[in-house]
Amino acid sequence: MASKATTRRGERTPAEVLPVARVCVDVPLAHLDRAFDYQVSSDQEADAVPGCRVRVRFAGQLVDGYLLERVESSEYGKKLTYLERVTSPEPVLSPEVAELARVVADRFAGTLIDVLRMAVPPRHARAEGQASPEPAPLPEVPVAAGWTRYPFGPNLLDALLSGRTARAVWQALPAEDWPARLAEAAATVASTGKGVLLVVPDHRDVTRLHAACAALVGEAGVVALSAGLGPSERYKRWLAVRRGAVRVVVGTRAAAFAPVEDLGLVVVWDDGDDLHSEPRMPYPNVRDVLVQRAHLTGAAFLAGGFARTAEAQLLVESGWAHEVVAARETLRTAAPRVVAVGDSDWQEVKDAAARSARLPSIAFDAARAALAANAPVLIQVPRRGYVPALACGSCRAPTRCRRCAGPLALPGGSEDGLPRPPYCRWCGATEAAYRCPACGSRKLRAQIVGARRTAEELGRAFAGVPVRTSGGDEVLASVTGKPALVVATPGAEPVAEGGYGAVLLLDGWSLLGRADLRAAEEALRRWMTAAALAKPGVEGGRVVVIAESVLAPVQALVRWDPVWHARQELAARTELGFPPAVRMATVDGSPDAVAALLDELRLPPTGEVLGPVPLDEEGEKERALVRVARSEGRALAAVLTEALGVRSARKDPDPVRVKLDPLEVL
């Protein structure tokens, strides 16, 4: 190698130590999802550290990238191009996060750079130039008396304190101060010198959990990461985590990739919330990301919530995680009294229209009693915009396909003067002679969708009582314990001081009748999240759900038994062959593009294709479902990645979107 003294002016020479850099270039094309080798020059030797940002020339253009590692030689076989420059010597990509990003990309049929865009925030030079604070002192082990209400709660904390790998699914009691419980678990791990990562659905949860953690580990020992922060402040806090100055991190879904040093515990709260699903490629879910992270790092894992998803139940039934639940005696003391439509014959005697009314007399009675006791009333109303679905015209049971149990819909139009028969929105099969399996009726009806002007209706019904709304652009974090009517959409329910005297869950059919695989599970989750804000039944707290009491989700709410419902859901999906019992992917695109991709798939032995079916009335977009046994999930992701790579290399003009384990299969 020529020395610097013998080279011509301006000529670059390779670094003397590890002169080859492997770079992940910021080019989101499936067939280019690999590391590329570049030469490190001698003047870049000190700054070109693994994990730093670099600028390289790729296909004649200057693009950004991340330096993954430095090696001695390259197998490229030709002369390597030099790094254009090192954007910053800050090692923003840790080896642990890089490995996690690769695993997530492979699991969800995505590219590494797509995942890194979620994992590493945009650079802010001024924030990067500022020094991070010194690490906060280790907190003391907290007195976690709240966990003693759960038989295995103290065992969980003992395992966290001793550094054992603990994996648990926690079923929080109604009216539980869940931020305090999670903060106690975090402080227990932080007292050992290890890091903690807690991921919650939205900024209101971040605020509550951050305050609870700060009370135990100190303001300097915890940091909040969320999209609401400005670019400078967010990057500043993120760098403090990367540099090891903060041990406890609280944030929303992007924080699942936070570079916490020496990770000892990962937590996800309310894993069924759709805010935990990333809307960008490759659409990973926080729960799955943290499960993979616990696998890679050996950290403890905790999933908590008032309800339980089928995915969390699978973690328990597979033996990967243990459940932390309270005894039934403790639950009866903490739970509010729940009443549903049709609970007793006296309801119909007192109110003949109870089954058809949007706000029957039992709901009015509960609201009046709460207001008379000087307590607020929460009214949950479903959001607008649900996909219309068909239901039985007699008993209102959702219609299902006899072949795959998918939801039925009307295509519109007519054939030979007769309306076209309903068809399955999953597999496309027609149901010309549908008969309701519950009551035998052949009548069909459209489900009621969306919310109404509930606040105005209640304002007229309860004259003189303040009415507040929470949802959309204006979401309330909390309300006082004074008498008021609080109308909220699911997920926007504010916390009431001292708890609500009554919680009214309206339009139950709008939630239960959605054309979605997770309709029952999601309805129960939203109901329980709102009902958990009520006072205990011994203090007069009541919950009224406007839905038939014979339905499984309503029964689970009345008995406050989400575990039973999760078992039922998982067993049903296992029998029908739907996630999480299997791995499933949706393939969306134009009819020609979907057909071409399906023809090229080399599916595993258990592979099966449902559809395709149209996604719009014009037939310009279609969706196909591809499913395999859970044991062949990696093979499915691999063949989809290969097919997308082939399409990318051919520069096919029609885009195709692939989602693995999607929240919605419609």
Q: Are 494 and 476 in contact (CB under 8 A)?
A: yes
Examine residue 580 and say whether the peptide bond preceding it is cis (omega within 30 degrees of 0). yes
Say which residues have a Cβ less than 8 Å from residue 345's Cβ, sequence separation at least 6: none
Q: How far is 442 from 68, CA to CA, in rounded Å? A: 62
* 24 in a known ligand binding site: no
Non-local (6+) Cβ contacts of 156 within 8 A are 147, 166, 168, 170, 185, 302, 324
Backbone angles phi, psi at 160, to 5 degrees: -65, -40
- Integer angstrom CA distances of residue 29 from 76, 637, 641: 20, 16, 11
Nearest residue to 408 (alpha-carbon basis) of 435, 382, 381: 435
Those residues with Cβ within 8 angstroms of residue 603's Cβ, 6 or more apart along the chain or in another chain:
609, 626, 628, 636, 639
Cα–Cα distance, 447 to 449 (Å, whole number): 6
Any known ligand binding at 213?
Answer: no
What element of type H or E holds 294?
Answer: helix 286-297
- In whole angstroms, give the CA distance from residue 144 to residue 478: 25
The one-character DSSP state at 223 is E
Contact 197, 303 (CB under 8 A): no
Q: For tokens 């006899």, what's the residue? A: 402
- Residue 647 in tokens: 């399409």
**Three-state helix/strand/coil letters over 387-444:** CCCEEECCCCCECECCCCCCEEECCCCEECCEECCCEECCCCCECCCCCCCCCCCCCE
Query: Known binding site: residues?
Result: 392, 395, 401, 404, 424, 427, 436, 439
Query: Known binding site for Zn(2+): residues?
Result: 392, 395, 401, 404, 424, 427, 436, 439
